[in-house]
Amino acid sequence: MHVNTLIRSYRKKRGMTQESLASQLNVSAGAVSKWETGASLPDTELLIPLANALQVSLDELFGFSLSLSDEQLQTIKADIIASFEQGSFSDGLLLIERYIAEYPHSEALVYQAAHLIWTYSLLVPFESEEEVLIRREKAFELYEQLFDSDNELMRLNALYSGAVILMTANRLNELEDLLQKIPTADYDTFYMTLHVLEGKGEYLQARELSLAKLFSRTNELCSLLAITGRLYEQTEEPKQATVCFKLLEKLEGLFQLITPSVTEPRKIRRLIEAGDEIQAAAELKKHMLTLTEQSLNWKEHFLFSSIKLSAGDNEQRQIRKLYVQEMLAEFGDLEGCDAYEEAKKIVAAF
């Protein structure tokens, strides 16, 4: 909105006539009329008295805003995208510079511009990887302007995006410093941290960090496969359920986790449902032997020997004892089978 329109709008909003406003400013009503028609502008020394008379700030008087509306931002974004796609990368950058110069206080514009530069650094044709890095450096410079923003979400998003750019550029020291400012509870910085450690030759620490993540993800994947398989069974889709449980069985075998198998009890239950109680009891006995003979000490594991659990060896043993007792009770309908009686003795000895 132009100044002349704003003067007229604010005057009417205050219930003032051109004459009353002119009287307060010691100018003629004709001068006010010219301001409102755009024929002339108020003299510089009249700007503050004019703003006071209209009860607005100078920013409001000139239609200046520290922020852009969502609609304005979307229009600018579309304009920049068109410049990148229909022109060249340089055209997009020049347009971004023009908009930022026009709206220097809009953090949302700076963030959007940085994101667009980063996105189109690969989408617009380039001659070398070095050219891509130079383009992304332009994005980083804009993100960097937001590293101290009072808007927490924008600040953290800018820090994270900046960290990703530093990682691709292999700027390890800067990346390490930036990671200290990003809360790991909200942002996954694991691979960036691993990249820093490996890049600085701290292989032992990087390895332990990687093993801890692998341990966590393996257990998580096993749980998800078990849950997904069970849900497929509930929705009567046995084919998909079988796929899930076969994958789970392979994972259990590959990683030899101390946590009890999910697939073995299921296998025993299926044998019972098929009427083969003798084979089911044999499988139960075999499983009880595995559970009671398996080491509960991670230090003996072929891969996860360095993993430390919150529960000690005695606690692990008590947990295992309760588990095998509950499993015997679960399959109490096998009572009377020779293998089941032998399984009871194995558990009692454990």
pLDDT at 110 over 60: yes
For residue 1, what pLDDT is reported? 46
Phi-psi label, residue 261: left if phi above 0, alpha if psi -120 to 50, beta otherwise: beta
Helices 89-102 & 107-123 angle (0-180, nearest 10):
180
CA–CA gap between residue 61 and residue 207 (Å, rounded): 61
Give me the count of residues in the chain.
350
Q: Which of 6, 42, 41 is nearest to 24 (CA)?
A: 42
pLDDT band for 326, please (50, 70, 90 cuts): very high
Q: Over the range 39-59, which residues count as b (16 or more CB within 10 Å of their CB) and which as e?
A: eeebeeebeeebbebbebeee
Question: Which percentage of the chain shows pLDDT scores above 90?
Answer: 63
Q: Does the pLDDT of residue 297 top 90, yes or no? A: no
Q: What percent of the chain has a predicted confidence (pLDDT) above 70?
A: 97
Alpha helices (H) in 87-185, listed in sequence order: 89-102, 107-123, 129-144, 152-168, 172-179
The arithmetic mean of pLDDT across residues 78-95, rounded, is 94
Instruction: State the helix-helix crossing angle for 172-179 and 152-168, rounded to 10 degrees.
Output: 160
Give the separation between CA 172 and CA 84, rounded to whole angstroms. Answer: 30
pLDDT at 64: 58
Q: Name the band, by pLDDT with cuts 50, 70 and 90, for residue 292.
A: confident
DSSP state of 45: G
Q: What is the mean pLDDT of the chain?
A: 90
pLDDT digits (tens, 9 = 90+) for 150-186: 999 999 999 999 999 999 999 999 999 999 999 998 9
How does pLDDT run across 21-73, given as a tens digit for each residue? 889 989 999 998 998 888 888 888 888 888 888 888 776 777 655 567 888 89
Segment 115-128 shows an average pLDDT of 94
| Cβ neighbour number for residue 159 with a 10 Å cutoff | 22
Q: What is the pTM of this model?
A: 0.69
Helices and strands of the chain, counted as H and E runs: 18, 0
User: What pLDDT does residue 122 have?
Assistant: 92
Cα separations in angstroms, 173 against 81, 192, 196: 33, 12, 8
The tokens describing 348, both together, are 């009692």
Q: Which two tokens stand for residue 234?
A: 């509930």
- Beta-carbon neighbour count of residue 226 at 10 Å? 18
